[in-house]
Amino acid sequence: MTTEILIVDDNTDIRNILNELIQDAGYKTRLAANYQQGLNEIDKKIPDVAILDVKLDKGDNDGIELLSHIKSKNKDVPVIMISGHANIEMAISSLKHGAFEFVEKPFDQNRLLNFISRAVENLNLKNQNKEFENRLFSSYELIGNSKNIMNIKDQINKISITESRVLINGPSGSGKELIARKIHKNSKRNHKSFIILNGALLDSNKYELELFGEERDNGSIVYGALEKANKGTLLVDQVSEIPLNIQSKILRVLTDQKFKRLNGNQDINVDVRLICSSSKDLKNEIELGNFREDLYHRLNVFEINIKSLNERVSDIPLLIKYFSKKISQSYNIQNLNIDENDSYILNHNWHGNVRELRNLIERIAILQPDTKEKIANIVKESLKNENFDEKVTENSLSVPLKEAREKFEKEYLTIQLKKFNGNISKTANFVGMERSALHRKLKGLGIKEFN
């Protein structure tokens, strides 16, 4: 599929030059001559890459507004900002709002094409990693031999063959989405879409748009989650966060099995299996007036409750073994030799539950320690240092291995230096490196030595 690039510039000559240059390079283009046209083009279809003039016709820095609008729809779209009135503040503002690059007019054509090429490569890499993560996640199994997990596996087998709505309760990171995926995978709908709508992440003004879609004045249609999931399964994650006025509309859809798109007059009939999940006690939310009781009873036809990892410690060794093998395969490295009965791991208070444990094992895979002692050191430092743990994201697979390894090595070695008050000899001894090798590593990672 040919990459499509949106060009928004109010200067006709610049717009035409960019259009010809980019098409000659083998890309498709769409053009907009002002702020409103740019907004319409973005809403019509998100481009693969965008080139935006900073100052258009709406006011100062209205190109930055378009940049923010694109990022609100898809944060991964690379946006190159261009301006003939460039200054440092403008460049910094663009980059802070997520711009991929900032280019001054008049621009060097080869340099701009190089930026575009890099932007396309960056987007393709992110898309490939997303596909990889989705395949990896959907291939995960529900691991554990605790009574809670064994009971849930039995429930999944029984509920999957029905069409009943399901409510999954459990703390963050415990595996609610995995349970929902397993229900879908084992159901007769498994050949259709599995769509996720996260109630906690949506803009409060966009719930209806995300759920029901919209019919635009230009004749285009934005499909909502209900239509995307037609004949398949819709998981509404963190359903407790959906506003009351939207809850009433969801209730109406469940009753009538139809709805209207925003600005639409035609009824849309859908056949969707609805699964909801929540980290909050919905009965308590009902008492507080935050959740409709009638909707709760509609959603809670069958209830699954997954406990926190701290309540099923017996599952931890199995999870370590499973994730070590799975993540080692994904990184194409030798299987990690992690002590499955490490008391430091077993006694840790897993606030992030299974997700936090998986992140720890992925971190070890990235650093690739070659001894059990080094692994143990990483475990202790990672679990006892909250700042380090918070900096580790769930999406570490979204960057190349080299970049991820450097990031974690920098975090890890910075912590070690601080722990030993900058003493290189003690730090080198602890991390298992020669003193000279540590000096080179610190220099290579850009870590300043201190006394």
CA-wise closest residue to 38 among 65, 14, 16: 65
Per DSSP (E only), the strands in 9-78 are: 28-32, 49-53
The CB-side HSE value for 334 (13 A sphere, CA atoms) comes to 6
CA-wise closest residue to 432 among 344, 359, 385, 372: 372
Name the pTM for this structure. Answer: 0.59
Q: According to the model, what pLDDT value does residue 314 have? A: 87
Query: Alpha-carbon distance 125 to 142, whole Å?
Result: 29
Q: According to the model, what pLDDT value does residue 413 have? A: 84
Q: According to the model, what pLDDT value does residue 450 have? A: 61
Query: Alpha-carbon distance 230 to 86, whole Å?
Result: 48
Task: Give Cβ neighbours of residue 47 (< 8 Å, ≥ 6 apart).
Answer: 4, 5, 6, 30, 41, 70, 77
Tens-binned pLDDT, residue by residue, of the chain (451 aa): 678 999 999 999 999 999 999 999 999 999 999 999 999 999 888 899 999 998 888 776 688 889 988 988 788 899 999 988 767 778 888 888 889 999 988 888 998 999 999 898 888 877 766 565 555 555 578 999 899 999 999 999 999 999 999 999 999 999 999 999 999 999 999 888 899 998 887 777 788 888 999 987 767 788 889 998 999 999 999 999 999 999 999 999 998 889 999 999 899 999 999 999 999 999 999 999 999 999 999 999 999 999 999 888 889 999 999 999 988 887 888 888 898 878 788 888 898 999 999 999 988 988 888 888 889 888 988 887 544 444 444 445 555 666 777 777 887 787 677 666 678 888 888 777 888 888 888 888 888 876 5
Q: According to the model, what pLDDT value does residue 344 have? A: 81
CA-wise closest residue to 405 among 355, 356, 362: 362
Delimit the domains of the chain by residue range: 4-135, 143-307, 311-445
CATH superfamily of 143-307: P-loop containing nucleotide triphosphate hydrolases (3.40.50.300)
Query: Alpha-carbon distance 366 to 404, whole Å?
Result: 7
Place of tokens 């748009």: 209
Query: Alpha-carbon distance 320 to 361, whole Å?
Result: 7
Phi, psi of 448, deg, nearest 5: -80, 130
Q: In the CATH hierarchy, which top-level class contains the domain 4-135?
A: alpha beta
Three-state SS across 311-373?
HCHHHHHHHHHHHHHHHHHHHCCCCCCCCCCCHHHHCCCCCCHHHHHHHHHHHHHHHCCCCHH
Fold match between domain 4-135 and domain 143-307: yes
CA-wise closest residue to 141 among 181, 170, 173, 168: 181
Query: Alpha-carbon distance 226 to 210, whole Å?
Result: 9
**Neighbour order of strands in the sheet with 166-169:** 194-198, 233-237, 273-278, 166-169, 302-305
Phi, psi of 374, deg, nearest 5: -65, -40
Cα–chain center distance at 66:
22
